[in-house]
């Protein structure tokens, strides 16, 4: 495994790999790798000749007052994980190399950023799409791997690739969870023991909502959202950022589940703050799920 810190060097290596006819998988990360990232790495290694893991805490996706400086970092541990799981290259550039002086170009998207985290974090997805598009160009990846926990990010990246005719396949991978259901996240490290126990309410509330829709036949989003909120607020340490039910196609709010579920999937999405840590999670409900 090789660690590449320079954009031009990574581009040269990527070009050479393509000339040799090698398929390239990219796993974009901000580091502090956990089991969720490992699942993406395993998938890439199994499906491609070469796997590149990018480790880059992207400054332009963090807003004022967000946790850029405190975002967890442990490059040596990340390096060991990548070696253990047969990664070929770590791409870990500096912010100065990725965004040189007089950097003026950004990638943005409409509609899909008007709800969920896009509504709460203005400019966040402009930063995400800009760095992802740069990583695609630098790596020349055939496939890029994203987790379903960050469902809005996944759908937005897919839409960017479709709209801009990018030559990369976006591979969605299931959310990896702790035994109590909490989604794996680099930010979980910030939770105290008491906060970590309280965080289990996130998945518990989603399970209640999914049961209401699938088994009880509840069709009004308002009732499902109220049930989620009620369960979340049963934990005193939890503060709700948002609870929404949206279309998986355009991320617009859904009022009547019955009207839309026959045509497209819906997403039950949550963001909460526990202590000083913001956590997100979701569950996707589709026609096949409803028939079970």
Beta strands in the chain, from DSSP E residues, in sequence order: 2-4, 24-29, 50-55, 89-91, 143-147, 169-173, 238-247, 266-274, 277-285
Nearest to 290 by CA among 256, 261, 253: 261
Measured over the CA atoms of residue 232, residue 120, residue 143 and residue 10, the dihedral's sign is negative
**Annotated catalytic residue, options 34, 37, 124, 190:** 37
Among 273, 194, 176, which Cα is nearest to 232's? Answer: 273
In sequence order, which residues have a C-beta less than 8 Å from that of residue 51 and are 6 or more positions away? 24, 25, 26, 27, 41, 44, 45, 86, 87, 88, 89
d(CA 209, CA 218): 9
Helix (H) or strand (E) holding 181: none
Helices 35-47 & 75-84, crossing angle to 10 degrees? 40
Q: Which residues pair with 30 in a beta bridge?
A: none
Token couple for 185:
């996240």
Catalytic residue flag (residue 37): yes
* DSSP per-residue string spanning 206-263: HHHHHHHHHTS---BHHHHHHHHHHHHTTSTTEEEEEEEEEETTT--B-SBHHHHHTT
Which sequence positions are flagged as catalytic?
Answer: 37
């Amino acid at each position: 495994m090789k660690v590449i810190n320079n954009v031009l060097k990574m581009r040269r290596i990527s070009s050479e790999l393509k000339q040799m006819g090698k398929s390239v998988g990219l796993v974009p990360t901000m580091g502090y790798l956990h089991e969720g990232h490992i699942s993406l790495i395993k998938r890439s290694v199994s499906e491609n000749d070469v796997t590149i893991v990018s480790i880059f805490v992207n400054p332009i996706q963090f807003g004022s007052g967000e946790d850029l400086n405190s975002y967890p970092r442990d490059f040596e541990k990340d390096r060991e994980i990548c070696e253990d799981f047969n990664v070929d290259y770590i791409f870990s550039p500096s912010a100065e190399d990725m965004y040189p002086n007089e950097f003026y170009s950004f990638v943005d998207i409409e509609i899909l950023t008007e709800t969920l985290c896009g509504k709460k974090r203005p400019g966040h997805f402009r930063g995400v799409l800009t760095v992802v598009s740069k990583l695609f160009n630098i790596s020349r990846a055939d496939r890029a791997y994203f987790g379903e926990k960050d469902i809005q990010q996944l759908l937005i990246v897919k839409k960017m690739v479709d709209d801009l005719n990018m030559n990369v396949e976006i591979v969605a991978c299931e959310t990896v969870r702790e035994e109590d259901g909490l989604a794996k996240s680099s930010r979980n490290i910030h939770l105290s023991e008491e906060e970590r126990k309280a965080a289990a309410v996130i998945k518990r509330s989603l399970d209640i909502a999914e049961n209401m829709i699938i088994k009880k036949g509840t069709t009004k989003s308002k009732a499902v959202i109220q049930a989620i909120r009620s369960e979340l607020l049963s934990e005193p340490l939890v503060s709700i950022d948002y609870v929404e039910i949206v279309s998986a196609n355009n991320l617009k709010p859904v009022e009547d589940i019955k009207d839309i579920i026959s045509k497209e999937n819906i997403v039950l999405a949550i963001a909460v703050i526990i202590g000083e840590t913001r956590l997100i999670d979701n569950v996707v409900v589709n026609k096949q799920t409803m028939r079970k």
